[in-house]
Amino acid sequence: MPDIYLDNNATTKVDSVVVDAMIPFFTEQFGNPSSIHRFADGVAKAIKKARSQVQELIGAEHDSEIIFTSCGTESDSTAILSAIKAQPNRKEIITTAVEHPAILNLVDNLEKEGYTIHRMPVDKCGRLNLDAYKNLLSDQVAIVSVMWANNETGTIFPVVEMAEMANAAGVMFHTDAVQAVGKIPMMLQDTKIDMLSISGHKLHAPKGIGVLYLRRGTRYRPLLRGGHQERGRRAGTENTASIVGLGKACELAIEHMEYENVQVKAMRDRLEQGIVEAIPHSFITGDLNNRLPNTTDIAFEYIEGEAILMLLNKAGIAASSGSACTSGSLEPSHVMRAMDIPYTAAHGTIRFSFSRYNSMSDVDEVLKVMPSIVATLRKLSPYWDSINNEPVADPEQAFQPSYA
């Protein structure tokens, strides 16, 4: 059975070069970077090197703008809570309806505390309306937080332009770039982005390590106070091995940036074209012309995502779904709802996300099994007419629960 991993937006395999770079910091060099004996020899230096490797990948002006955190979620929380704490008179937050829960659940909670949250809607292709955005900017807004790239569809938001608009209105700008960093080039020093979140495990570094980029001069209040680590901006003894690993992963990401945007993209393109050509009633979601090179999210109408995943898994293929059932909630993904994807399709979306470890033969394998998986489930579906191999005429009418 093949062993194909196409769920790289969920997490990635740690590159073996990264693992090798980390090992000494568990064994010989396990010392606390703040110590001054030989077990800590070189640990502080290794962290400094990692900091400059991250700096280079995102094009930050200073290495002191890189703050290591425990994950993408911590970076997101730190950014937003810092902005509201530093500007207690500003009671509004602008974000989008399609952010990761790391943002959405946080702002939901702030709403209960009295903040006004503007969750900008998106159109059917997942795009924002910048005129509407402009109208929301005011001196009441503490922070704008808009993701660089969407984790489900890969759709890229114009964050560089939006940061400039925020800056012109005197408003702080944060971007959750967890899915973008390492996949598309960026040069933060040429932008007005004030804060940016990174998560190591999305770019072949370990889980449980993140970064908050904090532009020099941006007003800031730490989430964790305590020791002097990270210049007092994020207390807690450094996760040295993971920091070193993340540094190495950033270096590798720079080396593979072109490969990601040419070869990896070619695999993605071939897969999605192959699927929509072979399978009726399937379509790609998101902004097709403006996406991460590695991500495709395909909706299969009249069947449910988790069932598709179970059959894919049986065929040795790992992917993920925006269906309600995979998360245990009753609603399909908030991203699909925000894009107004019809319910007949929203429950059957599958995300395939590639990395440099995939190959064209993986694509062939998926294309080989996908049509029969979809056909199997459609055969079971009350909304599908197996004899004519098409949806039943007017599915919402044909299926009439007796109590409706």
Partner 1 sequence: MWDYSDKVKDHFFNPKNAGAVEGANAIGEVGSISCGDALRLTLKVNEDSEVIEDAGFQTFGCGSAIASSSVLTEIIKGLTLDDALKVTNQDIAAELDGLPPEKMHCSVMGREALQAAVANYRGEEWKDDHEEGALVCKCFAIDAVMIEEMVWANKLRTVEDVTNFTKAGGGCAACHEDIEAILEKVMKERGETFDPSAAPIEKVEAKAEKKPLTNLQRIKKIEEVIMSFRPQLMADGGDVELVEVIGNTAYVNMTGACSGCQMSSMTIAGIQQRLMEVMAEFIKVVPASQMPTSELVNIKEVGHA
Q: What residue ranges bind ligand PLP (CB under 6 A)? A: 71-73, 100, 102, 147, 151, 176, 178-179, 199, 210
Q: Which residues pair with 195 in a beta bridge?
A: 174, 214
Residue 381 makes contact with partner 1 by CB under 8 A: yes
Closest CA to 391 of 357, 351, 342: 342
Q: How far is the CB of 335 from partner 1 (least distance, A)?
A: 15
Count of other CB atoms within 10 angstroms of residue 343: 14
* Residues annotated as catalytic (active site), given as ranges: 325
Helices (H) and strands (E) in the chain, counts: 14, 15
Q: Among partner 1, ligand PLP, none, what binds residue 72 when CB lies within 5 to 8 Å by partner kind? A: ligand PLP
Buried b (16+ CB within 10 A) or exposed e, 324-338: beeeeeeebbbbbeb
Between 69 and 321, name the residue whose CB sits nearer to partner 1. 321
Q: Among ligand PLP, partner 1, none, what binds residue 230 when CB lies within 5 to 8 Å by partner kind? A: none
Q: How far is the CB of 340 from ligand PLP (least distance, A)?
A: 21
Residue of 17, 125, 343, 367 interacting with partner 1 (CB under 8 A): 343
Residue 401 makes contact with partner 1 by CB under 8 A: yes
Q: How far is the CB of 95 from ligand PLP (least distance, A)?
A: 12
302: tokens are: 């009249």
Contact 46, 29 (CB under 8 A): yes
Q: Among ligand PLP, partner 1, none, what binds residue 199 when CB lies within 5 to 8 Å by partner kind? A: ligand PLP
Q: Among partner 1, ligand PLP, none, what binds residue 178 when CB lies within 5 to 8 Å by partner kind? A: ligand PLP
Between 179 and 229, name the residue whose CB sits nearer to ligand PLP. 179
| HSE-CB of 297 using CA atoms within 13 angstroms | 29
69/49 Cα distance (integer angstroms)? 16
Count of other CB atoms within 10 angstroms of residue 132: 11
Vertex 260, ends 257 and 203: CA angle to 5°? 75
**Residue appearing with tokens 């955190």:** 69
Between 274 and 395, name the residue whose CB sits nearer to partner 1. 395
Q: How far is the CB of 259 from ligand PLP (least distance, A)?
A: 22
Residue 330 makes contact with partner 1 by CB under 8 A: yes
What part of residues 280-309 is at the interface with partner 1 (CB under 8 A)? 302-307, 309
Q: Among ligand PLP, partner 1, none, what binds residue 302 when CB lies within 5 to 8 Å by partner kind? A: partner 1
Q: Among partner 1, ligand PLP, none, what binds residue 382 when CB lies within 5 to 8 Å by partner kind? A: partner 1
167/156 Cα distance (integer angstroms)? 20
48: tokens are: 């400094």
Between 217 and 382, name the residue whose CB sits nearer to partner 1. 382
**Residue appearing with tokens 């680590």:** 229
**Residue appearing with tokens 């040419």:** 262
Residue 344 makes contact with partner 1 by CB under 8 A: yes
Q: How far is the CB of 326 from partner 1 (least distance, A)?
A: 7
Q: How far is the CB of 381 from partner 1 (least distance, A)?
A: 5
Closest CA to 11 of 281, 175, 209: 209
Interacting residue ranges for partner 1, rule: CB under 8 A: 302-307, 309-311, 313-314, 323-326, 328-330, 332, 343-344, 347, 379-383, 386, 395-396, 399-404
